[in-house]
Amino acid sequence: MRGLMTDFAATKAMFDLPQGVLYLDGNSLGPLPRAAAARVQQAVTDEWGQLLITGWNKAGWMAQPSELGDRIGRLIGAEPGHVVTGDTLSIKVYQAVASALELTPGRKVVLSDNGNFPTDLYMVEGLLRSMGPDYELRVVAPEAVEAAITDEIAVLMLTEVDYRTGRKHDMAALTARAHAAGALTVWDLAHSAGALPVDLAGCDADFAVGCTYKYLNGGPGAPAFIYVAPRHADQVRPALSGWLGHQAPFAFDLDYRPGAGIERMRVGTPPVIQMAALSAALDVWDMADMADVRAKSIELTELFIAGVEAACPDLELASPRDPAQRGSQVSFRFAEGYAAMQALIARGVIGDFRAPDIMRFGFTPLFIDAGDVKAAVAIIADVMQNRLWDNPEYKTRARVT
Amino acid sequence: MRGLMTDFAATKAMFDLPQGVLYLDGNSLGPLPRAAAARVQQAVTDEWGQLLITGWNKAGWMAQPSELGDRIGRLIGAEPGHVVTGDTLSIKVYQAVASALELTPGRKVVLSDNGNFPTDLYMVEGLLRSMGPDYELRVVAPEAVEAAITDEIAVLMLTEVDYRTGRKHDMAALTARAHAAGALTVWDLAHSAGALPVDLAGCDADFAVGCTYKYLNGGPGAPAFIYVAPRHADQVRPALSGWLGHQAPFAFDLDYRPGAGIERMRVGTPPVIQMAALSAALDVWDMADMADVRAKSIELTELFIAGVEAACPDLELASPRDPAQRGSQVSFRFAEGYAAMQALIARGVIGDFRAPDIMRFGFTPLFIDAGDVKAAVAIIADVMQNRLWDNPEYKTRARVT
């Protein structure tokens, strides 16, 4: 491994983690960057409170969706000026697929896999229903995707990293295969952005979407992002054609004229207070090199897998064993996984559970180090070896997240 | 006038307005409620920071969209349990119109007026384009709407109060007319919610949408809301079918099954930090009676019109003269309106400008009183009588909001 340039001790100090918590759930909701609280307070008190309506200009609120987009773009290999933030990931999936379908006239099939996060499938199901009975969402097993890319396919929509197992698709190869078949691609980077290097431009990706509240640490309900390749950016006519994507929103024209490039993917009024938190979160990312993050992530996940497998024979690895085949999370299957996760949370190891039997742990080098991993492994070993999960209280808890 | 029960001096004290500002733009972006800063800080530091992922349950984040929806519902005459917050108003317009179209099979025309806020028209234009060439958005003059409601119309989509002039449609009469013709209604309450009493249930409205950053003071980028009448709530299948509108989001089913009633109008992860600010803003509204707010609003707008007309013959009233025909804003036409508004802002009277020539002033009794109105009139008189707007600096400023 080459020498790391990222100072992970410094980035760790930029987070405010509760005492006694080993937070292995930054892949679900990233923790609070210390600077975010002050940055949000500034947005609320100084900007909203004092500038009032003039904040749109004077505090730069109107420009933030694109500025934040560019800062995210650096982490995912996007060309500058081709990422914008806003809305939720579900909405951005809808926008991307609707746009991709418009660029592939005559084709009616969206291909995805059954490892995709359900909302992506739901949103496309709703989109295609409104487009008429000729359209089809075709869902195959992840390993069957490549063979299913035929010349019927309009859009290949995949989440690069599986939310349950961490299994990683080959973005470059599948994009090339899709293009060879005349299809376009929509990549969901929910479990990729900030988790591993992504090279959208290098892979020739067409559209990408993602959220910012996981690895990017933008806070609960932080806005999503969307990428449109330069060759498409001035071609697509957005289905969700909101006023802030208009060429001149404040001309209040009655007819929609799409804005320049990625700006047309904006829809409504951006969430200024959430953007303030996200901005502080991206300050931490400005100190990180994605290659370093990936190297450290692999070191941590390998340490975790070795430790858990040595101590807990009842836990079956659900993630690919080859680190090159997985994202920055590790999942184990265990029939009583829900109760076991509750037992871990009660002991300060926070991961999460995904039905039916997945115990999921995220590795986020910006604030998790090898010492944390070893401490977490010791607690997992205690819970499993002493059957601490076998407690009615852990089994009956309401399942919300 | 009956005796007011709302203590407007008390509500005014709950806002933090900058020194020397007369804020007549609460119809565009409401000011900061004092309690919002602390409430947001709590959401960031105590909830996100300390509870991390468990905030979704322990801090009640997941339930907030419906809880906030119900608090808004009280102000707009909605039945309890039939309003939910989320997304932006543009997205909610799309959801509402798409749902209404599904409930009117065989009909292909959405009727609106050219006084509607442009994003409503843009969003429907995009929706109909994706539905195919048979669908039509028909836009007529506001006064021609009633006659245009024929049995071709699937959906009547109107903004109750015109964003430029404050002219108010008759929601009850137009809804009845639409129903008689077999159409459904989508009412945009952007300039109604918190501005005047709305009686959605009494008017038999079908769908309504609105934003919370104007009269409701939810903060820049605060989430929107949507209402679905009880008779439709379990019938509609949302076009924007996101996972948080699923019957069981955390079952991660591959197929979408709509949640119960209004819950199905949720889409993606809600903006927790924005919701905290909105929650504090609604605490002020909990102290207000909408009939009182309306009575005080009329008193203030009448005082304003009389004062401005007496002092400024160059300003032409663009709002209806009859207070029953307008919302809670007053607009004047003036060819140099942009420069005049800049001159006012420089002197602490903040209103806004809407092209081509509208100077717009909002009246928000929760924090504006008769003394403020008289002070604003005196400054407007000074600017107009002494042609203080005739200054190159005011004419060349970039127009963003």
ipTM of the complex: 0.96
Residues B166, B178, single domain; the answer is yes
Do A41 and A161 lie in one domain? The reply is yes
Kindly state whether residues A271 and A381 are assigned to the same domain: no
Contact B401 A256 (CB under 8 A): no
Do A240 and A146 share a domain, yes or no?
Answer: yes
Instruction: Kindly state whether residue B1 falls inside one of the protein's structural domains.
Output: no
- Chosen domain end from B250, B285, B320: B285
How far apart are alpha carbons A364 and A385 in whole angstroms? 26
pLDDT at A401: 45
What CATH number is attached to the domain comprising A342? Answer: 3.90.1150.10
Do A251 and A332 lie in one domain? The reply is no
Does residue B3 belong to any structural domain of this protein? no
Q: Is residue B20 part of a domain?
A: yes
B54, two tokens: 């468990």
Q: Are residues B108 and B189 in the same domain?
A: yes
| Contact indicator for B205, B176 with CB cutoff of 8 Å | no
- Domain shared by A100 and A185, yes or no: yes
Whether residue A302 sits in one domain with residue A267: no
Q: Is the pLDDT of residue B1 over 50?
A: no
Domain that holds residue B189: 37-285
Residue whose structure tokens are 């991206």: A282
Could you tell me if B19 and B62 lie in one domain?
Answer: no
The secondary element (H helix, E strand) that includes residue A208 is strand A207-211
B369 found inside a domain? yes
Residue A165 shares a structural domain with residue A300: no
pLDDT at A16: 86
Is residue A2 in some structural domain? no
Domain count, chain A: 2
Among chain A residues, CA nearest to B137: A255
Q: Would an 8 Å CB–CB cutoff place A224 in contact with chain B?
A: yes
Inter-chain touch B267–A90, beta carbons under 8 Å: yes
pLDDT reading at B395 higher than 90: no
Q: Is residue A400 part of a domain?
A: no
- Residue A6 DSSP SS3: coil
A278 lies in some domain: yes
Domain assignment present for residue B2? The answer is no
User: Of A238, A264, A285, which closes a domain?
Assistant: A285
Q: What is the pLDDT of residues B99-157, one digit of tens each?
A: 999 999 999 999 999 999 999 999 999 999 999 999 999 999 999 999 999 999 999 99
Which ranges constitute the DSSP H helices of A116-199? 118-131, 145-148, 171-180
- Choose the closest CB to B52 out of A31, A62, A122: A31
Single out the residue in A249, A267, A285 at which a domain terminates. Answer: A285
pLDDT exceeding 90 applies to what percent of chain B? 94
Q: Check which CATH number belongs to the domain holding B122 and give it.
A: 3.40.640.10
For the residues B330-345, what does the mean pLDDT come to? 97
Alpha-carbon distance values, B340 to A238, B155, B162, B311, B350 (Å): 36, 40, 22, 15, 11
Tell me if A213 is assigned to a ligand binding site. yes
What percent of chain A shows pLDDT beyond 90? 94
In terms of domains, do A388 and A267 share one?
no
Helices (H), A149-264: 171-180, 200-203, 230-233
pLDDT one-digit tens code per residue, B37-94: 999 999 999 999 999 999 999 999 999 999 999 999 999 999 999 999 999 999 999 9
Residues of chain A scoring pLDDT < 70: 1-4, 397-401
Q: Is the domain of A100 the same as that of A243?
A: yes
Q: Which of B70, B360, B363, B394 is catalytic?
A: B360
Q: Which of A237, A256, A273 sits opposite B220 (nearest CB)?
A: A273
Q: What angle do CA B55, B61, B67 make, to 5 degrees?
A: 150
